[in-house]
Amino acid sequence: MQGERFASKISLFGIFGKAGLRLTISSSDEQQNEAVAVTEYKIALLGFGGVNRALAQLVAEKNELWAEELGFTLKIVGVSDIFLGSVIGKDGLDPKKLVAVPAAKGAFAALVNGSADPANETVIRFSGADIVAEATFTNPVDGEPATTFCRWALEKGISVVTTNKGPVALHSAALKKLAATNGAAFEFEGAVMSGTPVIRLAQETLAGSEITGFKGILNGTSNFILSSMQAGLDFGDALSEAQELGYAEADPTADVEGHDVRLKVVILANELLGAKLTPGDVCCEGISNITAQDIQNAARNDSRWKLIGSAQRTSAGTVIASVSPQLLPNTDALAGVSGATNAVSFETNLLGPVTVVGAGAGRIETAYALLSDIISIHKNKTKQAI
């Protein structure tokens, strides 16, 4: 009928199993019969430190914009945190109230249906989530307990987006297989360079360029320390400054000794070069032995010290990888990357070196990595629906 508006709802099943994908399609003569589809994804947040709290903040501020520009909205249906406790709201939790929760032990108990105790498995299995945003503690030895959280979700056909290096570096192949078996997705863009889309850029934008290796500055803390030493501080004072600014933890070992970079090198080598490396396969040396004199000597020779994580495919087809301080000439693309910024240079047969520079840390930046993973899931799901 002329002038009459109509709407229909279509339920589709695929990546999210029983949860399904809801499309609301509306049309009218005033809209020239253009179909507008908006998907609502229910998400559960595991860990509510800086990253997932920032994601909740983005949900509060950007949902309407995402509906218009990205074609989906996010509804938070559960949160679990080892310090704050847990809360489930199948009809949706107010993201503004979540963001306002104080950083106090058991603070979620003050919310409706909240508890002072964490409940990761309950939130995963019974909140009704389509997607789990996993941002908990990284154990570099076995990837636990985060790997178990990912497995619980994927077994139920619930997709996982994570910023956690442990599960990806140690168990990526098994988790991706589990995801495929259960019609889910396992995405982890934020595990390497925070919000800078280095993995997806290499896999999609540089597809066909024949990547043969990479080298990168993959830890913002160590790069900040070396940059501060270039400005005249010794190692101890530079580390103290990094800790005061929140770049370094009270125990900075993982950053300054290269352990964090080693996990990221494993992820990039396995994902982009087809390697099957474990952290034990990567030689690792940190920056704690670099002195102010080393920095001064480098400057006199138009060079700079950088902690470099790298991997290279050999002529025999094997992949070798390492983490170590390297003296780079100032003409090197990575030499001028300072502060807490990260960068990686890909070696390609067709394009030569391609360097990507961007944020390697930050609450909002890392939360954006989770969003970019959800965008990827949505695009893939939409393609399947057509």
Residues identified as active-site: 264
Residue with the two structure tokens 């909740």: 56
Q: In sequence order, what are the residues at sequence separation of 6 or more whose Cβ sits closer than 8 angstroms to the Cβ of residue 82? A: 47, 118, 136, 137
Question: Would you say how long the chain is, in residues?
Answer: 386
Beta bridge partners of 232: none
**Integer Cα distance of 311 and 319 in angstroms:** 7
Name every residue whose Cβ is closer than 8 Å to that of residue 380 and which is 6 or more positions away in sequence: 15, 185
Could you give the 3-state DSSP secondary structure of residue 126? helix
For residue 63 the two structure tokens come to: 């949902």
Q: For residues 228 and 340, is the Cβ–Cβ distance under 8 A?
A: no
Q: Which amino acid is at 374?
A: I
- Residue 84 tokens, joined: 């704050």
User: What is the token pair recorded at 3?
Assistant: 């002038």
